[in-house]
Structures are given as C-alpha cells and as structure tokens.
Amino acid sequence: MILKRNFNPIKVFGYVRKEIIFSFLVSILVWIIFEFKISAIALPFSISAILGSALAIFIAFRNNSSYGRWWEARTLWGGIVNSSRILARLIITFTDSHSHQSNYEKERSESFKKEMVWYCIAWVHALRLHLRKQDNWEELQTYLSSDDFDALTNSQNKPNFLQLMMGRKIYQAMANGTLGGFDSFQMEGQLLALANYQGSCERIKNTPLLRQYDFFTRLFLYAFMLLLPFSLIGDFGRMEIGYLVIPVTLIISFVFAILAKVGEVNEDPFENRITDVPLTALCITIERDLREMLGEKDLPAPAKPFEGYLY
C-alpha cells in the first residue's frame, strides 16, 4: 500500500513506458511526414475528441470497479483482524472459566490456549501466503507442532486445512473437559466468519475483472495515442510550430495512460505489489495482538513503511 504523497517520476514512467514510447514514435513520425509538406495527413481534432470521450468512459468504469475490489479486499481483512481477536478472546476466557471445576488441569488448559491462539496466528499467515501464491510455508513451522506441520504441507488449501485442525482441537477440548457447555458454538461462529472471509478473498483473487473491459481499454488507448498526433499536427502546422505536436502528444497520452494503469494495478489486491492491500502488516498486527492476549512480552516488531510503502 502506498503511503507517501509524492511519487518518483522515474518509477511512474516505468509503469507506462510502453505507451509513452509508442506515443513518442508516432508523434515524431507524424511531424516528419508533415514537414515534408504532406499536409493531407492532418485529421480533424473532433476524431480524437470523440475517441477520447469513449476511452474516458471505459477508464472511469474500470477504475471504479478496480477500487471497489481493492476496498472490498481491505474490508475483508479488517474483518479478519476483528474475528481473530474475538476468537482468541473466546479461547482464553472460556478455557479460564472452567478453572473451578474438579477435572480442571492447569497445564492442559494453558497448553490448549497457547496452541489454539498460535494456530489462529498460523491461519492468517497461511491465508497471506495462499492469496499471494507464495511457497515459503516453512514460515508456519514456528506456530505449529511438527506433526501438524507435516500434515499441512500435504494439503492443497492450507488455510482451510488449518481451520479443520482447529475445529478438531476444539472438540477434543470439549471431550477432555478443557471446554464445556456451549463454548464450541461461539468458537465455531468465529471460525465460520474466518472461513467466509477466506472464501471472499479467494473470489476476488480467482475472478478477474471482466476481460473485455481490460482489452477494449487497452485497444482504445492505443487507438487514441495513434490518432492524437494526426489530429494535432494541423493546428500546430498552421501556427508554424509543428514540432510541438511531440511534447503535447506525450503529455496527453501520459495522462490517459496513467489513468488506465491506476485501474489495472488496483484490480488485483493480493499480488504483493506496492499498490496492494498490506497483508504482511495486517498479519503482524494480528500476531502482536493475539500473543499479547496470551501474556507474552517478546512480540514481533510492528510493520513499518519502507520508502513510503507498506507491504
């Protein structure tokens, strides 16, 4: 996620270099041809104006849709933060509430609390890796037992498998007296919420914005950049400043190309790019909060922006 207000022009150019190079070459070619007194190449400006209006509509729709996807992704992860805290609180308070019973075993209860909370932390990190399609699953070894980690590595959908393991541990705790009554129902409610959040994130990840909008936006953009210098050269030629067609074409093309690129990079919010939802920072926040609820003091350092970007 970008936090800084001012951007590096070189990095910005890197996003639209293909479009700018195309526009630059076309505008130079048009100016050279016009200088050889071939004025027939000049087109009415209304052609570019009409095409630019159609392009603006496509760009506006795509940008609105892309921002909606990005904001939904951020909202879902906000829900994951809240539900993770609630689930950890339920685990801790429900386990402690049975300390007065005759079958209460402090060591068993403390072990259950720590194991379950650490599995909650493992789940959010697993979801982050799952959405970004990263393979460094060894990160989860810190939070899981060796047997469960071995079982996890053989699963296809690792966050979903972790939820299965957490569900089993809840009902094992019900059976041995660590939990009791209706404790499992409220915990299952938060596991359900986390499962729903995961499914919604996977929907965004696996369902791209309609490809026809992407294709026609790119098609109209290149058509616009191709026709623009032909529409400008006539007016600049009559004023005997035909060379200005090059910088003016580049400026206008740059504006449209950047607007189109904004929608393109925001369309997929889980690709571990500087424009994406900061999943790593959110996972660290959850881990810090949940480990603090366990009474731990040695917490991971909070995520900080690097050069104006939060990952």
Rounded distance, CA 243 to CA 147, Å? 71
| pLDDT tens track for 241-251 | 878 999 999 99
What pLDDT, on the 0 to 100 scale, is given for residue 39?
67
Is residue 99's pLDDT more than 80? no
| pLDDT tens track for 45-86 | 888 999 999 899 889 988 999 999 999 999 999 999 999 999
Rounded distance, CA 138 to CA 75, Å? 28
What pLDDT, on the 0 to 100 scale, is given for residue 200?
96
Contact 93, 186 (CB under 8 A): no
Average pLDDT of span 82-97: 93
What pLDDT, on the 0 to 100 scale, is given for residue 130?
95
Rounded distance, CA 90 to CA 75, Å? 23
What pLDDT, on the 0 to 100 scale, is given for residue 183?
82
| pLDDT tens track for 100-134 | 777 778 888 889 999 999 999 999 999 999 999 99
Mean pLDDT, the chain, as a whole number?
90
Residue 222: band (very low, low, confident or very high) from pLDDT cuts 50, 70, 90: very high
Percent of the chain with pLDDT over 90: 54
Can you tell me which residue has the tokens 């200005």?
244
Is residue 290's pLDDT more than 80? yes
> Looking at per-residue confidence, does 311 or 193 come out higher?
193
Is residue 38's pLDDT more than 70? no
